[in-house]
Chains A and B, each alone.
Chain A
Amino acid sequence: MSTRRKVLIVEDSGATRELLRAAVESLIEVEVHTAVSGFDALKVLPRHRFELIITDINMPDINGLELINFVKKNPHYKDTPLFVVTTEGREQDRDRGLQLGADEYVVKPFVPEQLCELVRRYLKL
């Protein structure tokens, strides 16, 4: 059994997903899982006990806001910290993300070290 802490990254861009993975995986205590869309995330979520979710906003099937709403209203997941990592500069969308319960809002291009620092803080590593 792995004792590493599970983090879910939801991002439809493969290249960006790998950058995110590389950044978060630099923390040895973390095990990264990925989902390529909001739908994919809905499928992956029940399979593991994730301790942190990192999601994009602009995605093809359900958008990140809808995913945040789903996670934060659902008794199974509502206490899981959730970061939004997105290019979305639109203030309205950002405010909504935070209102819906996102814990951190990181704007792309992100600095890997800063993202790691946030992950560490939330996972208390």
Chain B
Amino acid sequence: MVAPRALSEFIAEANEILEALGRELLALEESGLEQADPDRLNAVFRAAHSLKGLSAMFGLESISRLAHHAEDLLDALRLGKAPLDQALLDLLGQVVDMLQEMLGEASRGEDSTELKERSEMLAGELQQLASGGGQDTADVLDQVGIDPQVRAVFTEYEEHRLRENVKKGVGLWKVRAVFSLEDFDTRLATLNASLKPLGEVISTLPSSQPGDDSSIAFDLIFGSSKEKAELEGRLLEGATLAPLTDKMFSTPPPPPPQRKKAPLWDDKSISGPALSPLASFTSTPSGLSRLATTPEPSLRSLTNTVRVDIGRLDGLMNSIGELLLIRSNIEKLSDAARQASGPALPKLWGQELQREVRALERRLDELQKGVLDVRMVPLGQVFDKLARLMRRLVRESSKDVVFDVSGGDVELDKLIVEELSDPLMHLLRNALDHGVERPEARTRQGKPPRATIGLVAKQQGNHVIIEVRDDGAGIDEARVREVAVDRGLVTREQTEEMERRELLNLVFQPGFSTRRDVSELSGRGVGLDVVKTNLQRLSGLIDISSRRGEGTTFTLTLPLTLAIIRALMVKVSGRTYAIPLNAVLEIVAVKDEQLRTIEKREVIEVRGQTTPFIRLARVFGLPEEKRPVHSVVLVGLAQQRLGLAVDELLGQQDIVTKPLSGRLRGIPGVSGATELGDRRAVLVLDIGALMEELLRTQVAAS
């Protein structure tokens, strides 16, 4: 049977294909169905085709079968035998989700009949749609007179594209270009890019006529409505243009009759999500009603694999080469030092050694940065999946919502991106279910009937900020107060002294939920507290802001990477702790008499701002020395500031954090441990959790 390693490779590749499939489908939908880019359609087809072949090779017949039916339908689409419409795209979206589920099962070695049955039903629907198309009639290609030798290498799809171009009455050209064997692929890509705005590159044929050994000629079959002179003006140097056929027609054949769209949807429903759920339930053939009982597909990817741009790996290899060089230099110096007689080494050696050490440091820095780069993936990987999910949820809801995504190109550590999909999905659903109002309610308040839910990412220094925002009703403060008191999270007296922001933050408390009704769509039994815990595991923070009638914004602050962080090492009561440097704002010295106490808490004044002050020794229950001046590390995350009193500053260091194990896991305010060179374990402070703790005890104390 298939070796486990081969299987995991299969899962990684299949997963990648599915991600690409989802992305292309989304792009198709966004670009408008009328003007669907044939290249894009072909890419979707190719993805389904690859998946079919791949899963068949690995003995996963049910996946292969479903992919096969999808391929058939997509084939009909790209060959123009079936019309592309919204219902069809939805169905394909469901197929992608289903395939993802099946792949998940396969990766766990499961094989459930329930999934199989659902997949068979989907396959049936695909089949029905694929069989609808008619055959093309008289072949226009026969009338154009293309060299049969050329025609023989075309696939059925390329012939179809050629036919479409003939039907449009555009000129058919053969662009010949000779490139060096070394770089013909990049040169061809440039040529293609320059031709694409002028028409359609139907096929790229390597010429079999041998030139010299170092070059290769290509014929690009190209359809364009532009004049010969204009085309020639735009061609790259070394490329020549000739008509593809001898009989260029003088009058273009009549345009093909507009194919009638299958009446699955009326025109209104195609134009946007502004349709009532009833309409979509009855008018799609895809049986949306079944979706309500369909478990939500997990948006996480199934593998831990990171596909890496080869350039990044080359960079790493270079750094390693340089490191080896430095190593041998140091070796030479140490050999020389060993052989030298006499007690004192010449000063020169010391200098040379120092120079090598500095070079070593630089290279190690590069290497570290390189490794971090390799771990980075664009947030788009998860944003695309969320966008697909949201489109579906919006269509199934009775709300009219635009989903606005930006910042998908921001890169984060793969580990973080993976872990983000669940909390983001939860926040987005919340926004849809509880945030935005129905169109009628919005109109009554003088708002535009169509609501907006936004997902925005941007990088800010060492952090990535992700916002989930809606322009809905905002959070009802009074209701939050009521619930929090009801559930015994706080007393009424406490809430009266709380600022609005603190009040809002109560929604993250375990056991809090203002949901009055459980909608069809909302995730079951998971509250915002879980979102918060998820984020804290990633050393992230979540903050909420909301205005009545205007909307709610959740702001997530995340570190760029988890793996290696730069930390400030400090000593407290003889023990060493690490404070992540990305949270450190500055170091200040505070005299004991400058400490003030407000509401039984110590505070300091930093740049005119009153800042909470905590003694780390007390936090960790260690003995505390009395001292006249405190070394204070001022840390900040999002809007919050905190001063941490330590005994001694040891300097900066790069540390690799490891999660805590066993009995250490429960220590509050600690996110992990690291080992220094001397094999001592050092605890890494969790600034987010410390601030949290502070806020909570503050609330409790007041």
Contacts and interface: CB of A to CB of B under 8 A. Distances in A.
Q: Do A and B come from one complex?
A: yes
Interface stretch (B45-53, B613-621, B633-641, B654-662): B45-53
B152 A74 contact: no
A120 interface: no
A116 interface: no
B210 A76 contact: yes
B517 interface: no
Given A62-B206, A100-B152, A108 B181 contact: no
B10 A66 contact: no
Contacts of A13: 13, 50, 53-54
Contact of B10 (A15, A71, A74, A108): A15
17 contacts: A16-B54, A18-B6, A18-B9, A22-B6, A38-B206, A43-B185, A46-B181, A62-B205, A63-B155, A66-B206, A70-B206, A70-B208, A86-B53, A87-B52, A93-B156, A96-B152, A109-B53
Given A42-B216, A87-B49, A108-B56, A61 B185 contact: yes
B213 A46 contact: yes
A46 B206 CA distance: 14
* Range of interface residues on B (Cβ < 8 Å): 35 or more
Contact of A108 (B53, B152, B153): B53
Contact of A61 (B154, B204, B213, B216): B204
Interface string A68-102: 11111111100000000011001011001001100
Contacts of B181: 42-43, 46
B204 to A, nearest CB: 5
A11 to B, nearest CB: 10
A105 B116 CA distance: 32
B127 interface: no
Given A15-B6, A74-B210, A66 B46 contact: no
B205 A15 contact: no
Contacts of A75: 210
Contacts of A74: 208-210
B204 A66 contact: yes
A65 interface: yes
A85 B650 CA distance: 63
Contacts of B216: 42
Contact of B153 (A39, A87, A96): A96
A104 B209 CA distance: 24
B694 to A, nearest CB: 51
Contacts of B207: 70
Given A13-B53, A74-B208, A109-B57, A19 B153 contact: no
Enumerate the 3 nearest inter-chain pairs by beta-carbon distance, A residue then B residue, closest first. A73-B208, A87-B53, A70-B206
Interface in A24-69: 38-39, 42-43, 46, 57-58, 60-63, 65-69
A116 to B, nearest CB: 16
A14 to B, nearest CB: 6
B203 interface: yes
B196 to A, nearest CB: 15
Given A18-B6, A19-B6, A65 B154 contact: yes
Contacts, number: 102
Which of A15, A72, A74, A108 has the most chain B CB within a 10 Å cutoff? A15
A74 B216 CA distance: 12
Which of B14, B54, B213 is packed against the most chain A CB atoms within 10 Å?
Answer: B54
Interface of A: 12-16, 18-19, 22, 38-39, 42-43, 46, 57-58, 60-63, 65-76, 86-87, 90, 92-93, 96, 99-100, 108-110
A69 B208 contact: yes
A69 B204 contact: no
Nearest to A99: B152
A16 B57 contact: yes
Interface in B492-531: none
B403 interface: no
B184 interface: yes
B58 interface: yes
A60 B184 CA distance: 15
Given A13-B13, A58-B50, A96-B152, A42 B184 contact: yes
B56 A69 contact: no
B6 A69 contact: no
B57 A108 contact: yes
Contacts of B204: 61-62, 66
B6 A100 contact: no
Contacts of A39: 184-185, 188
B155 A93 contact: yes
A99 B53 CA distance: 23
A100 B185 contact: no
Interface in B457-471: none
A46 B155 CA distance: 26
A39 to B, nearest CB: 5
A93 B75 CA distance: 14
A72 B210 CA distance: 12
A86 to B, nearest CB: 7
Nearest to A96: B152
Nearest to A20: B57
Nearest to A57: B155
Contacts of B56: 87, 108-109
B153 A15 contact: no
A79 to B, nearest CB: 14
Interface string B681-695: 000000000000000
Contact of A14 (B13, B158, B210, B213): B13
Contacts of B49: 58, 87
Contacts of A42: 181, 184, 206, 216
B402 to A, nearest CB: 34
A112 B207 CA distance: 33
Contacts of B205: 62, 66, 69-70
Nearest to A46: B213
B536 to A, nearest CB: 37
A53 to B, nearest CB: 14
